[in-house]
Structure 1
Amino acid sequence: MYKCAIILAAGEGKRMKSTTPKVLHKVCGKEMVNHVIDIMRIADLSDINIVIGKGADKVKESTRFRDVSYSYQDKQLGTGHAIICAKEFLKHKKGIVAIFNGDVPLMRAETVKKLIETHENNGYKCTIVTSLLNDPTGYGRIVRREGVVDKIVEHKDCNKEELSINEINAGIYCFDIESLVKSLDKLNNNNAQGEYYLTDVIEILRSEDNTVGAMIVDYEETMGVNSRVELAEVEKILRNRINKKHLENGVTLIDAENTYIGADVQIGQDTIIYPGNAIEGKTVIKENCVLYPNSRIKDSIIEQGVSIQSSVILESHIGEETTVGPFAYIRPESTIGKHARIGDFVEIKKSTIGDNTKVSHLTYIGDAEVGEDCNFGCGTVIVNYDGKAKYKTKIGNRAFIGCNTNLVAPVEVKDNSYIAAGSTITNEVPEGSLAIGRAKQKNIEGWVDKKGLKK
C-alpha cells in the first residue's frame, strides 16, 4: 500500500523568541524538522511533504538535501488549514498519510511503523496517537466507545466525566488519504478563533459511521517544543537516549551527562570518551579510539586507534593510530595518514599528511600535499596566500623541515631533502638536497658598548 507523510512546519513559534523558525532549532545538533524527516524515512515513508509558512526559505534551505516536497500555508489558520494547503500533494493518491508536527523530534521510527500497522490491520479511516497523563489539564480528551474513538473534546468543553479522562490527543495522526481529502472539503472555521481544526475531521468521519482508532504512546515521544525551556528538556532526553545507545554498543563514556554526541554519529566498540567532548554531524569514530576531554569533532572520519586531546577536527579524515593534540586545529578537507603525529598548536587546512609524518608543534600547513615519514620542526609555516590567491605546496617523502621555516607557495620539496632552520624557501628543493634560505650571520664586536646599551 502507498504510504506518505505530511510534516507541519509553518508555525512561527513566538514563544521561542527567535528570528529562526521554530522547527529549525537544533536538538543534539540537528534541526527538529530534520529529525522528523529522518524518522519518517527510517519508518519507510519515502514520499514526504512539508507544509511551510513563516520562514519558508530558511526551512527549504535546511531541508534541501532530504528529497522532500513543499506546500505553502500563507496564513496560519489552524492545523486543518495546513492540510488543506497540502491538498495538491494528496491529489489522486490512494493509501495512507501520516501527519506529524515538525517540532516533535523524540518520536521513534518503530513507533511510526507500529502506528501504520495499527491503522492498516484494523481498517481505520483515522488513527490518532494518544498519551496517558496523570495531569491532562489543557489537553483535548479522547472519548472512546467500545475501544474505538468516539470524539475528541477540548479541555474547556469537557463535562465532569470527560475531565476525568487522562488519555489525551498528541496531535499526530494516520489517515486514509481519500477519506481525509473528502473530509477537508467539509471543514469550516465556525469557531471563536476563525480557524480550521484537523480534529474536526474526526467528528466528520464519525458522523459518517467511519471507525477511528487510537494508539497510546509514551508521552515522552510526543513532546513538542514551543519554548526554550521545552527545547532544553527535549535536548536532555534525546542526549541521554543517544548516549545510552552508545554505551549499550560497547563505547565507554566516562561522564555521559557531560558528553555531547549528535544523533547521526557512529562510534565503534572499545572507544573511550572523556567528558566535555562535542561530536557532531555525520562523524564516524571507529574502534579503540581515546578522546580525552574537550574536543570538537564534526563531519569527520576517525579511524581505529586514534588518540585526540583538546582539539578541533572539522570535515576531515584521521588515519589509524594517529595522535592529535592537544590544541590542534584540523580544518575542512584535510586527510591525515596512519601513525602520524599532529601536535600542540598545529593548524592543518585543506591538506594531505602522509603516514608516519610528525608535525609536533606550533606549525601551519595549508593547501599542501605532504608525503610519508616527514618531520616538521617547531614554527614551520606554509605561506599559501599572496593576498590574492591560494597556492599549493608539495613535500615529498622523508623530508626534514627545520624549525622556523617558511615555505612560500607555490613550491615543491622533493624526497629525502633537508631544510635548514630559519630558512625561507621560494624555489624547488631537489631530492636529497640541503636547502638554506637565510642571511649569513654577521657579528659586530663591541657594538653594545659603542651604543651605550650595556646594563
Structure 2
Amino acid sequence: MRSRLPKVAHEVAGRPLVNWVIDAATTLQPESLVVVVGHGAEEVGAILPPGTRTALQAEQHGTGHATKVALAELGDLDPDDVVVILYGDTPLITSDLVRSLAAFEEGEALRMVTAEVDDPSGYGRVVRDPHGSVIAVVEDRDADEAQKAIREINAGFYSVRAGLLAESLGQISPHNDQGEYYLTDVVGILAAAGHRLTAVRAAPEEVAGINSQDQLAEAQAAKRREINQRLMESGVWMLDPDRVYIDATVTVEPGARIYPDTYLRGDTRVAAGAEVGPDVWAEDSTIGANSRVWYAVLRSSVVGEECQVGPFASLRPGTVMERGSKIGTFVETKNTTLGEGAKAPHLSYLGDATVGSRANIGAGTITCNYDGISKYPTVIGEGAFIGSDTMLVAPVTIGDGAITGAGSVITRDVSPGALAVERSDQVEIPGYAERRRSRKSASDPEG
C-alpha cells in the first residue's frame, strides 16, 4: 500500500477494510470473534468494534501460523465447533457468502470459497481430481505450468471443524518457496485423509483482496455504486450517481435530492426534501428537511429545516442553523447559532456567536472573537440589523432590534432598539483632486 497505515485500517466508504469483514461475520452471531494483528497492532485494535478480541502474531510466519495464533486466543473448543476464517482486506465480502460458507452439511469437514478469474496470477490455484473434488490448493509461487493454467482460485475463506483444523495445523511445514506455514496445506491434508471438502463459488469481485492504492480505489467505486443504488431504490434522487460519494455511515432519507460532486461522510444525516450539491462536503453534520446546501463545506454542524447554505460557505464545528435561517456566499461560521429566520447573506465571519431570530448580518461583518489569548462571545438580539462592514469586538451584546451603522467598530454593548455608529466624520476638501494632479505633473515633467 506504500502507506503508514496498516493495510486493514484503510477505509472504504468511511469504514476500515477489516470492519466490513467483521460486519459480514457478525451475521453468524459467533460465540467469539478474533482478529489476528501484527504490523500496526495498536492502530488496528483501536478501530475494531467493541467486544472484538485480538490475537498478536508477533512474527509473521504465514497464514497457517496466524490461524494457530487465533486458535490459541480462542482457547478450548469442542472438536465439532465450526471455525470460520476470513481475510481482513476483503471489504466487498457479503453476509450471504459468509452464511453459505458456514452452512455445514452432514459429513463435511471443510468448506472453502473459490472464484474463477480471467487472470489468476498471484492467487493460489484450486486443484481438483478427475471427479471434480477439491484435493489441494497450490500457491502461485509453488505452482507448475499446468497448475498455473487453472483459473479457479482460492479466495482464502474457510470454515472447518475445530478438531480437524487443530490436527491439520500440527502437520503443516514451511517447506515451500516462501518458507511459511500455509493455511492452504490444510486442504490437501484433509483431502488426503479422505474427508469431504466443499467449494462455495463466489463472484471474483466479492473476494478481491486489497493490496494497492488502485485496488483500494476500485473497491471504493464498487461500494459507492452499491450504496448509491440502494439509496436510489429507497427514493433518493441523484442527478449523476457516479459523482456522488456517500459513506456507509451516512443516513439519507427518501425524497432527498443529491447533485454531483457531493461528499457525505461520517455521522451525516440528510432529511427528506433537502437538496444537497453540487460541490458539497458534509462531515458529521445534519441537513434538515427542505433545506438547500450547495457549494459548501459543513463540519460537525446542524442545518435545520428550510435553511439555505451557500454558495461558497464554510460551516465549522459547532454551527447550528435554526429553521429558515441563511448562511450565504463567502460566509464562515464557527461555534455559532443562527436563530429562526436569521440571515448572514454574504462576506462575513461569525465565530462564538449567538444570532437571534430574524436578525440580519450585513456584508463584511466580523465578530472579533479572539484577542490572541482567549476567545469571547458575541450576542446579537432578535431582529437586530448589523450594518455592512461592522466589526463586533467581543465580548459584546447587540440588543433586540438594535442597529449598527455601516463601517462601525462596536466595542460596547448596544441597547435594544438603539442605533450604534462608530466612525469618523466625513471630511470633504474642495479642489483637492486637481491640486494633486498638478503636483504630480510638476514633479514628473515627462508624464
TM above 0.5: yes
Select between 399-408 and 341-350 the one with higher mean Cα deviation.
399-408
Shift of residue 342, structure 1, vs aligned partner: 1.0
SS of the counterpart of 2:97?
helix
Q: 2:159 aligns with which of 154, 163, 174?
A: 174
Q: Deviations over 1:114-152 (max 9, x none)?
A: 322x23x44644321111235545533334577764332
Q: 1:23 is matched with which residue?
A: 8
Q: 1:100 aligns with which of 86, 95, 102?
A: 86
Shift of residue 328, structure 1, vs aligned partner: 0.4
Q: Judging changes above 3 Å, is the alpha-carbon distance between structure 1 residues 137 and 377 closer, same or farther for their aligned structure 2 residues?
A: closer
- 2:269 matches 1:284: yes
Q: 1:396 is matched with which residue?
A: 381
1:231-246 pair list within 5 angstroms? 231-246=216-231
1:285-364 pair list within 5 angstroms? 285-364=270-349
Q: 1:262 is matched with which residue?
A: 247
Shift of residue 377, structure 1, vs aligned partner: 0.8
Q: Judging changes above 3 Å, is the alpha-carbon distance between structure 1 residues 365 and 219 closer, same or farther for their aligned structure 2 residues?
A: same
Q: Deviations over 1:218-237 (max 9, x none)?
A: 11100111122322222222
Letter in 1 for 2:160: F
Q: Deviations over 1:275-305 (max 9, x none)?
A: 1222222222111222232111112111111
Q: 2:124 aligns with which of 140, 148, 170?
A: 140
- 2:363 matches 1:378: yes
Q: 1:5 is matched with which residue?
A: none
SS of the counterpart of 2:33?
strand
The answer to whether the 8 Å contact 1:90/1:181 transfers is no
Q: Judging changes above 3 Å, is the alpha-carbon distance between structure 1 residues 83 and 340 closer, same or farther for their aligned structure 2 residues?
A: same
How does the TM-score come out when normalised to structure 2? 0.88
SS of the counterpart of 1:112?
helix
Letter in 2 for 1:25: H
Q: 1:445 aligns with which of 429, 434, 443?
A: 429
Shift of residue 339, structure 1, vs aligned partner: 1.1
Q: Deviations over 1:162-194 (max 9, x none)?
A: 667543210112233444334434433233322
Q: Kindly tell me the number of residue pairs found equivalent between the two proteins.
A: 436
Shift of residue 396, structure 1, vs aligned partner: 2.9
Q: 2:444 is matched with which residue?
A: none
Letter in 1 for 2:94: R
The answer to whether the 8 Å contact 2:134/2:197 transfers is yes
Q: Judging changes above 3 Å, is the alpha-carbon distance between structure 1 residues 434 and 448 closer, same or farther for their aligned structure 2 residues?
A: same
Q: Deviations over 1:25-75 (max 9, x none)?
A: 3323433223323333455458432222223333234x0564423222222
Q: 1:228 aligns with which of 208, 213, 217?
A: 213
- 2:401 matches 1:422: no
2:395 & 2:406 partners in 1: Cα distance? Answer: 20
Select between 198-207 and 368-377 the one with higher mean Cα deviation.
198-207
1:386 & 1:65 partners in 2: Cα distance? Answer: 42
Q: 2:443 is matched with which residue?
A: none
Q: 2:115 is matched with which residue?
A: 131
How does the TM-score come out when normalised to structure 1? 0.86
Q: 1:9 is matched with which residue?
A: none
Q: Deviations over 1:72-99 (max 9, x none)?
A: 2222211111222223321134543322
Which entry has the higher C-alpha Rg, 1 or 2? 2
The answer to whether the 8 Å contact 1:90/1:177 transfers is no
Q: 1:410 aligns with which of 376, 387, 395?
A: 395
Q: Deviations over 1:227-269 (max 9, x none)?
A: 2232222222222222221221212221122222222222222
* Runs of 5+ unmatched residues, structure 2: 441-447
* Runs of 5+ unmatched residues, structure 1: 1-15
Q: 1:73 is matched with which residue?
A: 57
Shift of residue 362, structure 1, vs aligned partner: 0.6
Select between 273-282 and 323-332 the one with higher mean Cα deviation.
273-282
1:381 & 1:129 partners in 2: Cα distance? Answer: 62
Letter in 2 for 1:31: P
1:173-212 pair list within 5 angstroms? 173-207=158-192, 209-212=194-197
Q: Percent identity?
A: 38
